[in-house]
Amino acid sequence: MCRVAANPALGEHAGAAGGDQECEPGQRVRRESTWGGLFHEAMDFGRRRNAGRQVDCTISCCASRPFRYPYGLMSFQEFGLLDEVVHGVQSMGYVEPTPIQLRAIPVVLSGRDLMGSAQTGTGKTAAFALPLLTKLAKHGTMRCLILEPTRELAAQVETAFRDFARFMDIQIGLIQGGVGFGGQREALKKGIDVLVATPGRLLDLMGEGDVRLDTIEFLVLDEVDRMLDMGFLPQVRRIVEKCPKARQTLFFSATLPPEIEGMTKWVLKDPEIIEIGVRFSPADTVTHALYPVAKEQKFALLEALLERTNYESVLIFCSTKVAADMVTAKLKAKQHAVVAMHSDRTQRDRTEALDGFKAGKYEVLVATDLAARGLDIAGISHVVNYDVPGHPEDYVHRIGRTGRALKVGDAFTLFTAEDLDAVRKIERFIGMKVPRLKIENFDYLYTQLFVEDSIPAGGVGRGVRTLKGYSFGGRRKK
């Protein structure tokens, strides 16, 4: 017999019982509330300690129907997570679970396959890390494999697992390209429980007999849409085929495009589908702004924005590596603490840039879309799109670097006349009109964007060829 305590935060809305309820092991207890029919279920899922008492059940929110869970009504203790896992997450300063965690953690604990979608910055890593660590419990064989599309994401997830498991006897391993094989082989020989890997390097080590996947019980495919975009589907298929069929598989992705549905037929078994928020929508905690500007004044406007903005740290996105290096060099000349990160830099340089930005050594990080997916950098107050992204989805991923985990942030986008079509596609994609702003006392050159309403769909009309490209209006001041 165990006792399910009424949530004191619910007060008089605690349901028909109005207080504690008793249940036998394995019995489900439903507690209705007046705010929208949300209920909790008590399940017999191991033992944990709550308020100084031994409890044989866990409280979980039902993940089979959509709801809005009021913040403050649930804590990590109520999921049935191991004490060591709860202590780990609390030591990182997290108190209340985010919506994706509220929905996903009970499903993962139940053993079902899962396809989860949430906006970037909402805590997806903890949504699968916390329940998986609880199920692993202690050191043993390699039972958990997590595939990530990029080295940076793999390193970040491995660090998160280490932080969450800091009070556990669990060994975490990282396999990624761009570094030597020696240290990775040595870690595999010593024995690990959780392996975080990129597909290419993992297949290399599998081909040389250094890794076997026949003991895998939990498979996580993270940022699945990104893996598809990067052409990793054949590699992922080869890896999945080496894993036991009797396993639990979890999909986590910022978006769920239709192509992924075909993948689920051979990877997932009767998955629970969880989507938090409107598909493809940016986080509500981000404030958007568009800054129209003549092409030849883009950097001057960027400099003015940085001078007049009170920021903690800024992530600037450029469409090409050449542009990223150019912006970095010009900002350095203006005495900004700035560093660039893109695929032409060595893995050591990229790691140093990311670590330096996180530690505050650099106040500005200039990056290509390499950094747009999943990287969790705390405290980014502003994202600036120096170049408008070519795909609307990339806009959501870029600005997802700020306003993370319910914190507020600002996203600025500089756009020229030739970017107008792309801007309009982004606005249709995210379902909102982004305000156009101008900086006071900035010596603007005239651009047709200042009379944007007169520009028809499909472009800004025919420009006049000049030595510097095309002009879409006279060079008069505005």
Domain ranges of the chain: 1-62, 75-276, 286-471
CA 83, 89, 95, 97 torsion: positive or negative?
negative
Closest C-alpha among 431, 420, 430 to residue 458: 420
Separation CA 261–CA 265 (nearest Å): 7
CATH numeric code, 75-276: 3.40.50.300
Closest C-alpha among 462, 349, 11, 81 to residue 470: 462
Separation CA 81–CA 87 (nearest Å): 10
Sequence-ordered list of residues with C-beta below 8 angstroms from that of 183, at least 6 positions apart, any chain: none
453, HSE (Cβ side, Cα atoms, 13 Å): 1
* Per-residue confidence (pLDDT) for residue 138, from 0 to 100: 93
Separation CA 147–CA 154 (nearest Å): 8
β-pair partners for 275: 117
Same fold, 75-276 and 286-471: yes
pTM over 0.95: no
Q: How confident is the model over 37-88, as pLDDT tens digits?
A: 222 332 333 333 333 333 333 333 333 333 334 444 468 988 999 999 999 9
Separation CA 415–CA 387 (nearest Å): 7
Q: How confident is the model over 437-462, as pLDDT tens digits?
A: 999 899 998 887 877 776 765 555 44
Phi first, then psi: give them for residue 382, nearest 5 degrees: -140, 140
Question: Is residue 142 very low, low, confident or very high in pLDDT (cuts 50, 70, 90)?
Answer: very high
Separation CA 211–CA 204 (nearest Å): 9
CATH numeric code, 286-471: 3.40.50.300
Q: How confident is the model over 179-225, as pLDDT tens digits?
A: 889 999 999 999 999 999 999 999 999 999 999 999 999 999 998 87
